[in-house]
C-alpha cells in the first residue's frame, strides 16, 4: 500500500493522535481494513465496534479478524451507522471513522447516502470523547457522483468552531476526482 493512499494516510494521522487501548468505531466496515487497524490500536485492553449493512462486508471482516486473532477485540454489527447511538454511549469513543461510497468489487448501488451519512456523523460526534477524533474518507465522481461529497462538506463546514476543528485534506495535483480525507477533532 502506498504511503500516500487515502486509507494509509488516514491511519497515519489517527495513529499519531489517538491513544492506544481505547474505544474505536468503524462506521463503514467494507473489507475490514479500518476494523483491523483499530484492533491493532485496541490491543488486549481496548475494543472496537464496526458497522455495515452488507453480509459480504461482515463475512470478509470476520474472516480477517479470525486470521489475525482479533475476534475478541471487535463487535461486528449488521445495522446502519445512522443507528450508531443505539450501540454506544455519548462521549465514550476515541476515534470514529468513515470510508464512504461503495464496496470495491461489490454492488455499486449499495453505497452510503447523504442523509444517513450525515445522521451517522452527527451521532458519531456525540459519541466521541472530548479530545477524540473522526476520520472521513470522502469519494466522488464515477458511480459515487457528487451529491454525497457536496452534502458532507456543506455539513462539516458549518460545525461550530468552538466545539470542533475540521481539517480538510486534498490531493491537489491528482485528476479524476481523487478521494478526500477529512479529520474532525472534538475540542
Give the shortest CB-19-to-ligand SAH separation in angstroms: 25
> What gap in Å lies between CA 31 and CA 8, rounded to an integer?
14
> What gap in Å lies between CA 49 and CA 143, rounded to an integer?
28
Interaction of residue 123 with ligand SAH, rule CB under 6 A: no
Pick one of 52, 93, 123, 140: the residue that binds ligand SAH (CB under 6 A): 52
Footprint of ligand SAH on 83-122 (CB under 6 A): 99, 101-104, 110-112, 116
Helix H or strand E segment including 179: none
DSSP 113-128: -HHHHHHHHHHHHHHE
> What gap in Å lies between CA 107 and CA 54, rounded to an integer?
10
Footprint of ligand SAH on 1-40 (CB under 6 A): 28, 30
Residue placing its CB nearer to ligand SAH in the complex, 78 or 163: 78
User: What would the x/- binding string for ligand SAH be over residues 133 to 172, using CB under 6 A?
Assistant: ------x---------------------------------
> What gap in Å lies between CA 83 and CA 85, rounded to an integer?
6
Give the DSSP letter of residue 154. H
Chain residues in the site for ligand SAH (CB under 6 A): 28, 30, 51-54, 57, 80-82, 99, 101-104, 110-112, 116, 139
Amino acid at each position: 500500500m502506498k504511503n500516500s493512499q487515502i486509507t494509509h494516510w488516514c491511519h497515519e494521522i489517527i495513529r499519531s493522535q489517538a491513544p492506544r487501548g481505547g474505544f474505536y468505531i468503524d462506521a463503514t466496515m467494507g473489507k475490514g481494513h479500518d476494523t483491523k487497524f483499530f484492533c491493532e490500536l485496541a490491543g488486549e485492553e481496548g475494543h472496537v465496534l464496526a458497522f455495515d449493512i452488507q453480509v459480504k462486508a461482515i463475512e470478509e471482516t470476520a474472516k480477517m479478524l479470525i486470521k489475525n486473532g482479533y475476534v475478541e477485540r471487535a463487535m461486528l454489527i449488521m445495522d446502519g451507522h445512522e443507528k450508531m447511538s443505539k450501540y454506544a454511549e455519548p462521549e465514550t469513543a476515541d476515534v470514529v471513522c468513515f470510508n464512504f461510497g461503495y464496496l470495491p468489487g461489490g454492488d455499486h448501488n449499495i453505497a452510503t447516502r447523504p442523509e444517513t451519512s450525515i445522521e451517522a456523523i452527527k451521532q458519531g460526534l456525540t459519541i466521541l470523547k472530548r479530545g477524540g477524533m473522526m476520520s472521513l474518507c470522502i469519494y466522488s465522481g464515477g458511480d459515487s457522483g457528487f451529491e454525497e461529497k457536496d452534502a458532507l462538506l456543506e455539513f462539516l463546514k458549518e460545525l461550530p468552531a468552538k466545539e470542533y476543528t475540521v481539517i480538510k485534506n486534498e490531493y491537489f495535483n491528482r485528476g479524476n476526482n481523487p478521494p478526500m480525507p477529512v479529520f474532525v477533532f472534538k475540542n
